[in-house]
Structure 1
Amino acid sequence: MKRLTSSGAVLLLLLLQIVFVSSAAKSDETRVSADRHKRQIEVGATFVFNPETGKSEPKPGTSPTTEDPYQYMADVHCRSGGSDTPDKGCLTLNCPPNTPGGEEGTPVIWRQAPKSITNPVWTDYPAISGPTCLYDPQPENVLANIAARILNDFRQLPINPGTLEAQPFPHTLKGGPTNFYTTASTQTFDLTILGQTVHLTATPTNYTYTFGDSTTLGPTPTTGYPIPQTEWLTSQTRTSHSYTETGNYPATATTNFTGTYSVNNGPPLPINGTLNLTTPPITIHVWKTERALVADTCQQNPNSWGCPSTEDK
């Protein structure tokens, strides 16, 4: 094994220094500044992020051929002061106007996520520790954009219309009361819209009963309710219906849902519009009653009048 000469050792040392300096320079190129008070924070080598405006722009003097791969969200959840508040500093941070006569800023915590992922998991922006002040009107624009599309999002939700129930069922008597009621209920959904966390509530408000014999009831705020079996043929409820002819009738209930939504745990806001959903139909078999004197029970004589074996005779 050959030993290094003094000149060879010097050359090797120089090469190691060059590699170390090159690696350090490359690391500095992609390092993100961790000073939350800076107005511009470097993102990689070609973009800067301004936490006061929420905008990521090309670094001055560069001509990037691609866009910033990250998207950013100003989380105003810290204003709620709940037990899950991410940073208590949000509750005490003051954001005075940064220009004479200007508007006060909004305490926010910045989140980031890759643009390439749909409904991503938002993580704390690594360059800013704790809350900072946002002075750009962008949050109001985001709220306005959500308000403009929230009705369409509301109508795309998998809201359950419930079911229509009848008593007695599936057979009822001509001229007798048939009690109807629906099982529609309030439902909640958590969505991500335009990078914001949106909590949406769908509430049943009015109901329209279609009995299948060309008659309807409603819209009415009455959902109806079940009654004891002993009252099926005698009790008339607000949602009961009496069929005047025998036959088979498809009955449904259509529920009118109203909605509210809140953005980032903000106050609930009304959705300007409603959604109508109809239950699957149920078939009501309407029979008539007849009286006759018989000598035997159906157990004694299955072919006796009125027994099941003679229904089609």
Structure 2
Amino acid sequence: MPTPAWSTNDDGSQLSAGRGETALTVGGTFVFNPETGKSEPKPGTSPVAEDPYQYMADVHCRSGGSDTPDRGCLTMTCPPKTPGGEAGTPVIWRQAPKSITNPVWTDYPAVSGPTCLYGPQPGNVLADIAARILTDFRQLPVNPGTLQAQPLPHTLKGAPTNLYTSTTEQSFNVTILGQTVHLTAIPTSYTYTFGDGTTLGPTPATGYSIPQSEWLTTDTRTSHAYTDTGNYPASVTTTFTGTYSVNNGPPLPINGTLNLTTPPITIQVWKTERALVADTCEQNPQSWGCPGTEPQ
């Protein structure tokens, strides 16, 4: 059996992949969800915690191998993607617990039947993708979302100004080293920069819109009270974690994050003044404090 290919991840952990019974192993704490057929974060833990399973692309899916014609292995072909290019190799994705030495590999339930891997050494291709996936992840055209404020553009000094953001999980299909790779960017935390030298976060709170009747009176988890008048550029930085899968293989965690900041919005902070007046604005539109009048 050929020797597996090894690569080192950013955190010093090793990724391994090769022909035969070897596995592509990555750091990160995931559990298998039979309802979705995916490896997902365990509730209450970090989205990049360690997956208890290891995976491999079994290249025995060919004549003389361990699989039979009814699996589609012997009849499946993987033609070159480009003229004169190399033909692909049919593989079956398998999984096994990391905690077991010399495990019995079982078919990965989320992928039925063989899929194609391209490259003269499929295992090496998987390891090479794993070694560079964070760089490719950080180059995706992920939308950072938007920042909203209530009220906007004017708010009052000392009153709570409600800020909230909106962004979504985003998926991309790209080609890396000749392989089809599906990447998913998942927003997980937010850091609010209020423009006056203060910040909030990172926090999992996206905030939310509140009724106009509650503006300037209601504190929310993401509201902020400005202590001085002026114009302040506010923004929010979203931290995305990610997963990737190669040629419809199992989703694997990306060991690293992507941080994106929204364009700033200008919040104009005013102050209030009180005075006794003889008439209402309906009685005298030129009365002190009425719209369009100059401060006295």
The TM-score normalised by the length of structure 2 is: 0.62
Question: What is the match of residue 60 of structure 1?
Answer: none
Question: What is the match of residue 139 of structure 1?
Answer: 122
- How has the CA–CA distance of structure 1 residues 132 and 163 changed in structure 2, closer, same or farther, with 3 Å as cutoff? closer
Query: Within the alignment, does 1:258 sit opposite 2:226 as a pair?
Result: no
Question: Structure 1 CA distance, aligned partners of 2:275 and 2:234?
Answer: 32
Q: Can you list the C-alpha shifts for 1:191-213, whole angstroms capped at 9, x where unaligned?
A: 11111111100011111100011
Counterpart selection for 2:176 from 193, 196, 203: 193
Question: What is the match of residue 135 of structure 2?
Answer: 152
Query: Within the alignment, does 1:110 sit opposite 2:78 as a pair?
Result: yes
How large is the Cα RMSD of the aligned pairs? 3.5
Question: Structure 2 CA distance, aligned partners of 1:165 and 1:246?
Answer: 19
How big is the shift at 1:219? 0.9
Q: Is the 8 A contact 1:161 1:277 kept in 2?
A: yes
Alignment of 1:143-292 (within 5 A): 143-292=126-275
Higher strand share: 2
**Aligned AA (1:290):** E
Instruction: Report the structure number with the largest CA radius of gyration.
Output: 1
Higher helix share: 1
Question: Structure 1 CA distance, aligned partners of 2:157 and 2:211?
Answer: 20
**Aligned AA (1:210):** T
Runs of 4+ more than 4 Å apart: 92-95, 122-125, 131-134
Equivalent position SS for 2:80: strand
Percentage identity across paired residues of the two chains:
71
**Aligned AA (1:146):** I
How big is the shift at 1:246? 1.1
Question: Structure 2 CA distance, aligned partners of 1:152 and 1:95?
Answer: 39
Residue-pair matches, total: 208
The TM-score normalised by the length of structure 1 is: 0.59
Q: Is the 8 A contact 1:187 1:202 kept in 2?
A: yes
How big is the shift at 1:145? 1.1
Question: Structure 1 CA distance, aligned partners of 2:218 and 2:116?
Answer: 65
Unaligned stretches of 5+ in structure 1? 1-52, 54-89, 98-105, 126-130
Q: Is the 8 A contact 1:95 1:133 kept in 2?
A: no
